Structure formats: structure tokens, C-alpha cells
């Protein structure tokens, strides 16, 4: 499992602790565990199945990161949970083969204060963030609250200008 050091410590302390779940790093044996932690950090590049995965910065109330997946022919950025994040855009705007951007928008604008407090986005904050995007890309929205999908997507449509973000659907396949 690839995760930041802070996330690994949280998983060990709160989940895989023999109280909630077994410690899968010890079973079936410590030498041959079901789970191994691999610590990652922002900026690190991991190569899996011929694709480069770069860990991107996120701004959130708990440790979080985003990811850049690069096939060589195209790239996809997944922001993860994040609020306004200038560090992300400085990386994204250097990706010459950017094709897809998947970005969270958790709340409608009526809950902007809560979005700011929890370091998430709402449509007006999303519009401010997308104004920082200097490359063409297909934009997909994720992490919406189920009870407010229609309202939030309507607000996004009204604020997003030419980018025309779309709701990320289950089983969507991205080829790049």
C-alpha cells in the first residue's frame, strides 16, 4: 500500500491495530505479510505497469495528496480532497500532455463557509481554482454530496465558463 507517512501511522494506530482489523503487515507471517506499506511523499514518482505516478500536493484538514498519472501519451490529474491549492496548479500547468483533470467539489455554494473550514471546494471556489488552469483539459467533478449533486452541478455549470466540467460517473474509463 502506497501512502504518506502520516496516513500509514493513522492506519496503524486506528484501523489495522488488532482492535478493529488485524495487522495485515503481520499475517500470515511478518516475512510474508498480506500488506506492506510503502511511504510516499509529494513530488515522488512511482512507476507501475509502465505508467508514472507522481504524488501531488493537496490542501486538506487531514493528510492528503493528489496524483498525476502519465502514460507518456497523455496525463490525468486527480486532485484528491483539497481546498484552494496554488502548489497544485504550479505542477499542473507544467504538464504538457495533460488530458484529464478530476477535481473535487464537495459542497454547494450555500455551504461555502463549511467548504473553506474543511478545506474542500464548492462551485465558486472551484471556479477560482479552475481560473488558475493554463492548459486545456477535460474536467470531471468528483466527491459531491449525494443530496446536492444536481444543485452543485448546476452551480458549477453557471460558474465554470468554457471548461464545461462534467460529473464523474461510476465505471468511467479514461484512455490516455
**Domains defined for the chain, CATH in brackets:** 1-40 (no CATH), 42-167 (3.60.15.10)
Rg of the chain taking only CA atoms, in angstroms? 18
CA-based angle 10:142:15, to the nearest 5? 15
State how far the alpha carbon of 116 is from the alpha carbons of 86, 99, 148, in Å. 15, 28, 17
Spatial contact of 72 and 108, defined as CB atoms under 8 Å apart? no
Measured CA to CA, the distance from residue 165 to residue 64 in angstroms comes to 23
Per-residue pLDDT of the chain (176 residues; tens, 9 = 90+): 999 999 999 999 999 999 999 999 999 999 999 999 999 999 999 999 889 999 999 999 999 999 999 999 999 999 999 999 999 999 999 999 999 999 999 999 999 999 999 999 999 999 999 999 999 999 999 999 999 999 999 999 999 888 999 999 999 999 99
Amino acid at each position: 500500500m502506497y501512502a504518506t507517512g502520516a496516513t500509514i501511522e493513522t492506519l496503524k494506530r486506528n484501523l489495522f491495530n488488532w482492535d478493529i482489523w488485524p495487522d495485515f503487515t503481520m499475517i500470515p507471517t511478518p516475512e510474508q505479510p498480506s500488506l506492506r506499506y510503502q511511504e510516499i511523499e509529494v513530488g515522488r514518482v512511482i512507476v507501475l505497469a509502465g505508467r508514472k505516478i507522481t504524488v501531488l500536493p493537496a490542501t486538506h484538514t487531514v493528510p492528503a495528496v493528489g496524483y498525476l498519472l502519465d502514460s507518456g501519451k497523455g496525463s490525468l490529474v486527480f486532485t484528491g480532497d483539497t481546498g484552494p491549492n496554488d502548489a497544485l496548479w504550479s505542477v499542473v500547468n507544467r504538464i504538457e500532455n495533460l488530458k484529464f483533470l478530476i477535481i473535487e467539489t464537495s459542497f454547494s455554494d450555500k455551504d461555502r463557509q463549511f467548504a473553506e473550514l474543511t478545506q474542500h471546494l464548492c462551485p465558486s471556489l472551484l471556479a477560482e481554482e479552475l481560473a488558475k488552469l493554463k492548459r486545456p483539459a477535460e474536467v470531471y467533478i468528483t466527491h459531491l454530496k449525494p443530496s446536492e449533486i444536481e444543485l452543485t452541478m448546476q452551480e458549477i455549470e453557471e460558474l465554470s465558463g468554457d471548461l464545461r466540467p462534467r460529473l464523474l460517473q461510476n465505471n468511467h474509463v479514461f484512455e490516455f
